[in-house]
C-alpha cells in the first residue's frame, strides 16, 4: 500500500521545490544543523549535500540525496533510483562497493589531504580586498565550487572507514557475549592523530600561560584579545605558540555546520576562554596518559575477541584483517571532520566575511555579517552593480529571528513506511536510533562511551554556551564534533539528542574516555540547565536526580 504525502503543518508552511518533493520523506538534520540557518548558510548546507553525488557515482550505486531549506531549517531526503523489488540487491551492492574501497582508503586520503590543502590555500589567497569588484564577483562562484569539491571528497573518503568499523563491530558483537554498543569501537583507541594533537597543543598553551603570573592573569580575564596579549612583553613566547596553534588548528571552534559560526582563527577569544579554564582547573589526565590507557584497553578488547574466536580460525583470520584495516583507516571517521567539515566551513566563511566587508564598504549592506542574509547567487551581481539591499536584509533577519524560536517538524513529506527496512529509524551506527522514555526522571539513549558520571547538566545550544561549561559538568547538546575537544577534556560526561556509536560526538567522547549517552531524542528539551544528572555510558540510561 502506498503512503499518502502528508500536508505540511500549518505553522510550518512548505513550498515544494520540485513536483515530486512531496512524495519523498524529508528529515530535518538536527545532528549537523540543529538550529535555524541564515539564507547564505542554507545555501552552504545545500552545497554540502550536493557532495553525496560524487561518492555514489564513484561507487556506482543508484542513490541520490537531495537537500532543501524550509523556514531556515535544513532537510535531506534520499531517492533510490531502482524498483522496490530490487532494494535488497541494490543495498547489498552498496555494502560490497564500500568494502571494495577499504584497501585503497588510506592512499586516497593521503592524496585527498594534499588536494584539500591546495583548495584552502587557494581560497585564502584570493585578493578580495585589493581586486576590482568585478574580479571579486568572478571569483565568488569559483570559491564555492572549490569548497564543493572538498565535500565531494568527503562523501567518498568516508565510505571505507565507516564500513570497516561496521564490519569489525558486527563480528566482535557476534562472538563477545554482552558487548555494549560502543565496546567494539574501542579496538581502534589510542592512535595518534589530529584530535590527539589538538589536545596536546592545548595542554602546552595552558602550561605556557601559567609560567608567567602576568600572562596567566591576562588570559584569565575573559574576553581578552590576541592584540592585548601581544602588547604584553612577557607574553611573546605564548603569543608565538598561540599563533602557531591557530595556523594549524584554528579552523576548529564552530559547534555546527552553520556558516554563521566563527572559528578560532577568526575569534581567538573563543580559544583563550578554554585555555583559561585549563589554567583554573587542571585536567585530571593528560592527553598522552589517556592515549596510552586507550591503547591498553584496545589490546584487552583484542585479547577478548581472540579468545572467543580461538576455535574458529576462519573468522579469526577475518577479525585480524578487519582489525588491521580498522586501525589504519578507522580514525578517519572523525579526522575527516577535522579536515573537511570544520576546515571547509572556516575557509568559506572567512572568504564570505571578507566579501561582506567589500559589500559594506560599498554601501550595499550595513555591516559585513549582513552578507549572511543574502543568497549565494545574489552576491556577484551586487558586487558588480552595487545598489542597497538594507531593507531586504532586515526583512530576512526578522524572518530568521521568527523561525529561530520555532521547533520544526522532524519529518515532512511522505511518511516513513515501517514496512521498509531502515525507513522508520535510520538506526545505523552513525545516525543511531531515537528513544522515547516513559519514566519521568529517566531518559534513554545509546551507551556510546562507557563509564558512569554524575554532575550538573550544562545545556549547550549556542556558541556562547561554550563558555558556561565548567569542570565536572555533564554536557547536554544536540550533537558535537572535533571543535568540542577543549570541553571534553574538562567535562564529566556527554548527553546528545542525536547520533549513534559512530556519530561525531560518540567518537570524540571515546577518545577522551568521557562517559556518553547519545541519541536520546529530546534531552536538551527535557533537562533543565543546572539539574543534577547521572549517566551510564554503557546502558544508555540518564537519570534526573
Would you kindly state where each structural domain of the chain is located, as residue ranges? 442-544
Per-residue b or e along 224-253, where b marks 16 or more CB atoms closer than 10 Å to that residue's CB: bebeebeebeebeebbeebeebbeebbbbb
The rounded distance, in Å, linking the Cα atoms of 461 and 445 is: 19
The DSSP call for residue 416 is: P
- pTM value is 0.93
446 pairs with which residues across the strands?
518
Residue for grid cell 574576553: 223
By the 8 A CB rule, do 491 and 514 touch? yes
- Measured CA to CA in angstroms, residue 57 lies from 64, 77, 106, 502 at distances of 10, 17, 20, 24
Helices within 176-312 (DSSP H only): 194-210, 213-219, 226-230, 236-249, 268-280, 287-308
Q: Where are the alpha helices (DSSP H) in 459-534?
A: 485-488, 504-511, 523-526
User: Is 3.50.30.10 the CATH classification of the domain at 442-544?
Assistant: yes
Q: Longest Cα pair distance anywhere in the chain, in angstroms?
A: 77
Instruction: Count H helices and E strands in the chain, helices first.
Output: 20, 12
Residue in 333, 338, 383, 36 with CA at minimum distance from that of residue 163: 333
Reported residue count of the chain is: 545
Q: Which of 253, 266, 198 is nearest to 226 (CA)?
A: 266
Q: What percentage of the chain's residues is helix, strand, coil (to nearest 5)?
A: 55, 10, 35
Provide the β-strand partners of residue 25: 413
Q: What are the Cα distances from residue 258, in Å, to 102, 247, 426, 483?
A: 31, 21, 23, 13
What is the chain's alpha carbon radius of gyration, rounded to the nearest angstrom? 24
pLDDT in tens, the chain (545 residues): 333 444 566 789 999 999 889 999 999 999 999 999 999 999 999 999 999 999 999 999 989 999 999 999 999 999 887 777 788 888 899 999 999 999 999 999 999 999 999 999 999 999 999 999 999 999 999 999 999 999 999 999 999 999 999 999 999 999 999 998 889 999 999 888 898 899 999 999 999 999 999 999 999 987 888 999 999 999 999 999 999 999 999 999 999 999 999 999 999 999 999 899 888 877 778 889 999 999 999 999 999 999 999 999 999 999 999 999 999 999 999 999 999 999 999 999 999 999 999 999 999 999 999 999 999 999 999 999 988 999 999 999 999 999 999 989 999 998 865 433 333 344 688 888 877 777 889 999 999 999 999 999 999 988 788 888 888 999 999 998 888 888 888 899 999 999 899 888 888 889 889 999 999 988 999 999 999 999 999 999 999 99
Can you tell me the distance from the alpha carbon of 74 to that of 40, in angstroms, rounded to the nearest whole number? 12
CB 383 within 8 A of CB 356: no
Torsion of CA 182, 327, 428, 544, to 10 degrees: 30
Grid cell for residue 128: 578580495
Return left, alpha or beta for 254; rule: phi > 0 is left, psi -120 to 50 is alpha, else beta: beta
CB 348 within 8 A of CB 259: yes
What are 257-280's pLDDT values in tens digits?
A: 999 999 999 999 999 998 998 888
Contact at 8 Å (CB) between 432 and 520? no
Amino acid at each position: 500500500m502506498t503512503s499518502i504525502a502528508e500536508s505540511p503543518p500549518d505553522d510550518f508552511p512548505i513550498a515544494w521545490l520540485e513536483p515530486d518533493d512531496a512524495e519523498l520523506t524529508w528529515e530535518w538534520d538536527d545532528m549537523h544543523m540543529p538550529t535555524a540557518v541564515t539564507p547564505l548558510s542554507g545555501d552552504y548546507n545545500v552545497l554540502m549535500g550536493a557532495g553525496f553525488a560524487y561518492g555514489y557515482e564513484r561507487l556506482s550505486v543508484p542513490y541520490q540525496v537531495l537537500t532543501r531549506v524550509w523556514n531556515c531549517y535544513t532537510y535531506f531526503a534520499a531517492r533510490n533510483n531502482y524498483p522496490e523489488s530490487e532494494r535488497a540487491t541494490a543495498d547489498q551492492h552498496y555494502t560490497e562497493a564500500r568494502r571494495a574501497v577499504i584497501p585503497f582508503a588510506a592512499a586516497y586520503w593521503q592524496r585527498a589531504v594534499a588536494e584539500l590543502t591546495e583548495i584552502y590555500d587557494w581560497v585564502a589567497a584570493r585578493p578580495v580586498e585589493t581586486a576590482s569588484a568585478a574580479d571579486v564577483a568572478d571569483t565568488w562562484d569559483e570559491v564555492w565550487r572549490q569548497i564543493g569539491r572538498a565535500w565531494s571528497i568527503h562523501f567518498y573518503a568516508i565510505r571505507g572507514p565507516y564500513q570497516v568499523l561496521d564490519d569489525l563491530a558486527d563480528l566482535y558483537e557476534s562472538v563477545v557475549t554482552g558487548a555494549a554498543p560502543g565496546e567494539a569501537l574501542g579496538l581502534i583507541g589510542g592512535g595518534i592523530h589530529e584530535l590527539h594533537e589538538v589536545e596536546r597543543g592545548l595542554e602546552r598553551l595552558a602550561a605556557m600561560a601559567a609560567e608567567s603570573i602576568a600572562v596567566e592573569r591576562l588570559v584569565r580575564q575573559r574576553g581578552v584579545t590576541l592584540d592585548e596579549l601581544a602588547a604584553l612583553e612577557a607574553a611573546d613566547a605564548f603569543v608565538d605558540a598561540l599563533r602557531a596553534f591557530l595556523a594549524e588548528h584554528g579552523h576548529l571552534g564552530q559547534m555546527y555546520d552553520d556558516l554563521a559560526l566563527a572559528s578560532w582563527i577568526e575569534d581567538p577569544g573563543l580559544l583563550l576562554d578554554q585555555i583559561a579554564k585549563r589554567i583554573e582547573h587542571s585536567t585530571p589526565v593528560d592527553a598522552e596518559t589517556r592515549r596510552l590507557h586507550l591503547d591498553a584497553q584496545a589490546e584487552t578488547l583484542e585479547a577478548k575477541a581472540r579468545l572467543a574466536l580461538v576455535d574458529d580460525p576462519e573468522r579469526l583470520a577475518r577479525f585480524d584483517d578487519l582489525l588491521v584495516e580498522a586501525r589504519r583507516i578507522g580514525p578517519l571517521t572523525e579526522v575527516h571532520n577535522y579536515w573537511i567539515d570544520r576546515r571547509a566551513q572556516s575557509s568559506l566563511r572567512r572568504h564570505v566575511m571578507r566579501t561582506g566587508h567589500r559589500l559594506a564598504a560599498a554601501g550595499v549592506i550595513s555591516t559585513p555579517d549582513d552578507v549572511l542574509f543574502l543568497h549565494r547567487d545574489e552576491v556577484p551581481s551586487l558586487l558588480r552593480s552595487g545598489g542597497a539591499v538594507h531593507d531586504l536584509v532586515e526583512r530576512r533577519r526578522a524572518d530568521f529571528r521568527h523561525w529561530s524560536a520555532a521547533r520544526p517538524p522532524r519529518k515532512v513529506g511522505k511518511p516513513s513506511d515501517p514496512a521498509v527496512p531502515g525507513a522508520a529509524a535510520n538506526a545505523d551506527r552513525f545516525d543511531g536510533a531515537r528513544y522515547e522514555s516513559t519514566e519521568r526522571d529517566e531518559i534513554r539513549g545509546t551507551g556510546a562511551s562507557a563509564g558512569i558520571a554524575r554532575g550538573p547538566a550544562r545545556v549547550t545550544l549556542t556558541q556562547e554556551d561554550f563558555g558556561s561549561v565548567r569542570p565536572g559538568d555533564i554536557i547536554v547538546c544536540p550533537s558535537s564534533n572535533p571543535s568540542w575537544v577543549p570541553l571534553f577534556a574538562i567535562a564529566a560526561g556527554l548527553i546528545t539528542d542525536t547520533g549513534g556509536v559512530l556519530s561525531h560526538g560518540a567518537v570524540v567522547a571515546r577518545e577522551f574516555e568521557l562517559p556518553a549517552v547519545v541519541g536520546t531524542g529530546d534531552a536538551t528539551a527535557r533537562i533543565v540547565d543546572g539539574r543534577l544528572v547521572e549517566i551510564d555510558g554503557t546502558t544508555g540510561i540518564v537519570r534526573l536526580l
